[in-house]
Amino acid sequence: MKELVVYCAIILPDGFTILILVKLFKDGGKEAKKKDRSTSPVKCFFVRFESNAAIDDGKEYVLSGKTVQEARSVFMHVHTLPSMAKYMARFSLILSKTMKLEDDLSNLNFMVEGDIPCKDKDKKPVYKDGKLCIHSDGTGYISEDLALKCPKDVFKGSIMNGANVEIGPIGALLGESPDTMQADSYRRVPPLLIQIRFFYKGYAVKGTLLVNKKLPPRTIQVRDSMVKVEPDLNLSNICTRNSLEVVTTSNQPKRTSLSKNLIMLLSYGGVPDNFFMDLLKNALEESQGAFSNKRTALRVALNRGGLDELLAAKMILSGIPLDESYLQYRMSIMLNEDRKGLLSGKLPITDSYHLMGTVDPSGVLESDEVCIILDNGQISGKVLVYRHPGVHFGDIHILTARYVKELDEYVGHAKYAIFFPSNGPRSLADEMAGGDFDGDMFFVSKNPQLLDYFKVSEPWTENCTTPEGPSRRPSEFSDEELESELFESFLKTRFQPSYAMGMAADNWSAIMDRFLTVEDSNSSEKTLMKENLKKLIDLYYEALDASKTGKKENSFKSTSILGKIYDHVKAYQEEVSRKEVQKLPCFNVEVSEECRSKWTVLYEQYRKDMTYVLNSSNKEKNDAAANALYDVYKKVLYGGAELVERQRPMNQISEEALAIYNICYEYAIKKDDVGKCGFAWKVAGSALLNLHVLGLGEKTLSCAPSVLKELFS
């Protein structure tokens, strides 16, 4: 892990200077950040307005000579917003993880259309708190020619098949462009839905675009609900940087799992405990197959490759037997990571999918119908639909999926989405935890057992709203006042975080867990708990749009279905027996005394060095220090960083690799600790695998990890 320390001086209007120390880390885990009270979700970015560096040679920069306010207007006319809260929320759109769609937008046909209103049985528009209720919240259209320029399989600004093009819209808007070249097969059919951030002539647009073959070429049609910032018609002296940014596309669903909240709601709706326990047992039995089935083992090793830099996957692909001591040790660690998901209720389930949602453009669907497009086209029949992180009893719907021929005229052969109706008094997405169509994902299941067991409840309706307090418009502040206000908000967010959402979620989980175990449905205790749950649900949904800062860690002994799942997984993990350390016969060979003596001394020195470097309580720092130490000994063995960069004769490397293997394994056998074998594989692994493949009389085959993940995920 690399660390960069930056000192930033900020001079406030009253003359005080604040010196901020900012530490930037290359990587780090979420768990470590939760434990570190000094960390914050607030990120710092440094923007260049001018440069005296010789390398820039006095060249003009896009922000050269501009004030901070003028610089913000290059991206969007954010000063037109009605409140400071919206100002901060909307301007942060430029920090989304996206990739730029390479296209000249100068001749774009851009249209803003009204939303589709919700209507009552008399066909009159429905209003709530004076605001029109709509079916099309967050979704618009894009012409097929423009959609074809978008790569498939984009997720949070990166292409999932391995071409890492993560680039923030700041970089994209300022002229940096990622390599978005794709294979021809990825361009023939466009993504059905594209989640976007769109900055155009002062507009800031957020939502999804549905491919629409009926639109004329080079057309983007957005709804009023998608427009987060409107242009200032009086501002003509600032040249905007127009950019269409892709966040995520509608992708082929991967293996789908239940969640903690969903299990609780399904249990409340009548799904018996043994249904979930059967799912759990199947998942555990399948994971145990990683010790005997190469395909299962490789899938686990690829999915958890970040734990050991794909070492286990390399061992499997090189023909190392699955019962090899260290390989089984690594597989146990990876499987325990997988089982952590099971502990929290992430149970794999068949006939279920996560799909991005949008509204039916044809208007054919009735208020209790949906259209779902999967691999083989549209499906029909009853489906269970839920939106995470729903916690209300009525957040799960049973709907009818039907075939809509008219959709083909809009989307052609594009796939993977769920279409909701544009008819009825309320949006179905809004009924599920207040959802919309700006990129929300929906859990969809046609699992016959689930549909047979579950009984729906009345959908959630908002019972309380917190009115917005009086606030000055950003345009009413002077430039100095505006910066002071923004900096004060930053300090408040950084040092006075709100735990409202986390506390509401934790309390809901605790009460719901108890609620599910009270057998008497008419008891006063159960009635009181249900009322408390409803109040917590309102608080939770209201807090979803507020700043997210993490949860407060609470624990309790659960006797509900979640507790049974947790206890079963824990017991299963404890039953896994320890593996006896044994050498592979092909590596258990004699080497020269000189070679063995050399690495006996080096291995003893390594153990002393490792004891010294692992002196930090920070896991990331320890891992980085350990990897640096392995690099030292790899250089001794190979004369370079890796086998492919070797500077020593191959016969010497092979002999020393065998010496390292035998010395390490003998020490591990003596200590009865298979983890001690790690030095052999982390230092001499490449040479050992090369020897093993040669011993099989075969040659290695080069393959990109991303391709393997695609094949085995």
Predicted confidence (pLDDT) per residue in 460-495, tens digit:
787 656 566 677 898 888 888 888 888 887 777 666
pLDDT band at 92 (very low <50, low <70, confident <90, very high): confident
Out of 232, 249, 266, a domain closes at 249
Mean predicted confidence (pLDDT) in 677-692? 92
Long-range contacts for 28-36 (Cβ within 8 Å, ≥24 apart)? 28/1, 28/620, 29/619, 29/620, 32/618, 32/619, 32/620, 34/550, 34/551, 34/553
Residue 689 lies in a domain: yes
Residue 480 lies in a domain: no
In the prediction, which pLDDT does 5 show?
45
Residue 586 lies in a domain: yes
Indicate the pTM of the whole model. 0.77
**Nearest-10 Cα torsion for 495, 499, 501, 505:** 150
Sign of CA dihedral 154, 155, 161, 164: positive
Q: Which of 85-94, 258-267, 492-501, 691-700 has the lowest mean pLDDT?
A: 492-501
In the prediction, which pLDDT does 43 show?
63
Residue 347 lies in a domain: no
Residue-range definition of the domain harbouring residue 213? 67-249
pLDDT band at 514 (very low <50, low <70, confident <90, very high): low
- Encoding tokens for residue 304? 């958890």
Q: Are 152 and 251 in contact (CB under 8 A)?
A: yes
On the CB side of 274, CA atoms within 13 Å amount to 1
Per-residue model confidence as pLDDT tens digits over 600-657: 999 999 999 888 877 777 777 888 888 889 999 999 999 988 888 888 999 999 999 9
Out of 203, 226, 249, a domain closes at 249
Q: Are 552 and 499 in contact (CB under 8 A)?
A: yes
In the prediction, which pLDDT does 165 show?
34
Average pLDDT over the chain reads: 81
Residue 489 lies in a domain: no
The DSSP element (H or E) to which 358 belongs, if any, is strand 352-359
Residue 650 lies in a domain: yes
Q: For residues 136 and 345, what is the distance between their CA atoms, to the nearest angstrom?
A: 33
Amino acid symbol at 583:
K
Q: For 63, phi and psi rounded to 5 degrees?
A: -105, 5
Q: Which of 435-444, 451-460, 545-554, 667-676 has the lowest mean pLDDT?
A: 545-554
Residue 467 lies in a domain: no
Q: For residues 621 and 405, what is the distance between their CA atoms, to the nearest angstrom?
A: 57
Q: For residues 10 and 20, what is the distance between their CA atoms, to the nearest angstrom?
A: 8
- For the cut 90, the answer to whether the pLDDT of residue 247 exceeds it is yes
Sign of CA dihedral 333, 337, 340, 341: negative
The most confident of the ranges 130-139, 158-167, 178-187, 527-536 is 130-139
Out of 218, 234, 249, a domain closes at 249
Total domains in the chain come to: 2
Mean predicted confidence (pLDDT) in 512-522? 65
Residue 659 lies in a domain: yes
In the prediction, which pLDDT does 466 show?
59
More confident residue, 646 or 379: 379
- For the cut 70, the answer to whether the pLDDT of residue 225 exceeds it is yes
Q: Which of 83-87, 165-169, 332-336, 453-457 has the lowest mean pLDDT?
A: 165-169
